[in-house]
């Protein structure tokens, strides 16, 4: 079986080696063997190669979290899929739902366990999702990390609806997927970038407004002006640890303004449940003041699954990244 192997986290792209492993493994109880047909890259994969990804990565790991292919064999007890089904792998192989267990990261593809950059992948039955007929294998291979992350942030946590406004940071995978979801649901998307060229492309994809944060340092004022002074309904924060403090400071600033509280309603409070952030942020902490009306989602890495929500309060469930 052909595969690519990384000796260890931080070994560098030049150390990625094509290898021959023994014949494809036999699927065990509730496991499936998938013939990989397409893979996609995420920033997390680059971080692992560079050594900047701070979660545990096994040695001699097959990289990449995202991939799609066809089931070639199903092990005993498998009922959800069968040979011939087109499937995509889940980022976490042993986290089908609910709150994450302490050892969830141990089942992360391309990190805790071997990933998708191989001819075959041995996956859990609950670690695959059937691909709709209208999607190609290449399209489906881009969804598990960035696509699911921002869907969870915008549709599950924020429950955004037509007519709402979302602020998307940058033009990476998470934000561009968010932009496409926003357009499909009739949600106005404001997107930021340091590149006018990228902003022009984002507008072609449906962005209602683009802000170059290099030429417009007070980009929060531009966002507020675009919404007629109301502020956006949701921010998808993809900066990670470098920008979390700014969000907390922003939350405290917003809570000091009466419009957040409904007349006669409870007094807004700021509650930080858990945070793992540096002492300094590369962003001006004032940048978030005056932007958000109701929600903020923290995606400490572009691939974070569990995001944080604010309503009258800010409660980061976890600031830890994948």
Are 168 and 198 contacting, i.e. CB atoms less than 8 angstroms apart? Answer: no
pLDDT of res. 269: 39
Neighbours of 253 (CB within 10 A): 15
pLDDT of res. 317: 27
What sections of 132-218 are H helices per DSSP? Answer: 137-140, 148-151, 173-185, 196-204
What SS3 state is found at 206? Answer: coil
CA distance 283 to 73: 50
Domain limits of the chain? Answer: 2-141, 146-315
pLDDT tens digits along 45-70: 999 999 999 899 999 999 999 999 99
pLDDT of res. 220: 77
Q: What is the pTM of this model?
A: 0.76
| CATH code of the region 2-141 | 3.90.180.10
Are 181 and 162 contacting, i.e. CB atoms less than 8 angstroms apart? Answer: no
CA distance 239 to 284: 13
Buried b (16+ CB within 10 A) or exposed e, 75-92: beebeebeeebbbbbbbb
pLDDT tens digits along 159-188: 999 999 999 989 999 999 999 999 999 999
- Is pLDDT above 80 for 252? no
Closest CA to 140 of 39, 7, 1, 12: 39
pLDDT of res. 171: 94
- Is pLDDT above 50 for 307? no
- Is pLDDT above 70 for 82? yes
Confidence category of residue 36, pLDDT binned at 50, 70, 90: very high
pLDDT of res. 241: 58
| CATH code of the region 146-315 | 3.40.50.720
CA distance 58 to 50: 14
């Amino acid at each position: 079986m052909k595969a690519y192997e990384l000796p260890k986290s931080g070994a560098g792209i030049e150390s990625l080696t094509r290898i021959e492993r023994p014949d494809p493994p036999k699927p065990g109880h509730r496991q499936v063997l998938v013939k990989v047909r397409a893979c996609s890259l995420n920033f997390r994969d680059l971080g692992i190669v560079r050594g900047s990804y701070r979660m545990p990565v096994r040695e001699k790991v097959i990289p990449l979290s995202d991939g799609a292919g066809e089931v070639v064999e199903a092990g005993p007890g498998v009922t959800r899929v069968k040979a011939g089904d087109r499937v995509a792998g889940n980022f976490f192989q042993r986290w089908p739902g609910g709150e994450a267990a302490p050892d969830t990261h141990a089942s992360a593809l391309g990190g805790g366990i071997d990933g998708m950059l191989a001819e075959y992948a041995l996956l859990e039955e609950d670690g695959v999702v059937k691909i709709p007929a209208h999607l190609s294998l290449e399209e489906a291979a881009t969804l598990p990390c960035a696509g699911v992350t921002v869907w969870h942030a915008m549709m599950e946590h924020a429950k955004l609806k037509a007519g709402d406004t979302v602020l998307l940071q940058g033009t990476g995978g998470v934000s561009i997927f968010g932009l496409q979801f926003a357009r499909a649901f009739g949600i106005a998307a404001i997107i930021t970038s340091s590149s006018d060229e990228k902003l022009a492309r984002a507008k072609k994809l449906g962005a209602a407004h683009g802000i170059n944060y290099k030429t417009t340092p007070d980009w929060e004022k531009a966002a507020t002006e675009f919404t007629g002074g109301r502020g956006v309904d949701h921010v998808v924060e993809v900066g990670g640890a470098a920008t979390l403090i700014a969000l907390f400071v922003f939350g405290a600033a917003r809570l000091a303004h009466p419009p957040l509280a409904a007349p006669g309603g409870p007094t807004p409070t700021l509650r930080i449940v858990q945070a793992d952030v540096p002492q300094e942020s590369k962003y001006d902490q004032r940048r978030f003041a005056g932007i958000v009306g109701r929600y903020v989602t923290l995606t400490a890495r572009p691939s974070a699954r569990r995001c944080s929500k604010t309503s009258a309060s800010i409660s980061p469930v976890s600031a830890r990244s994948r």
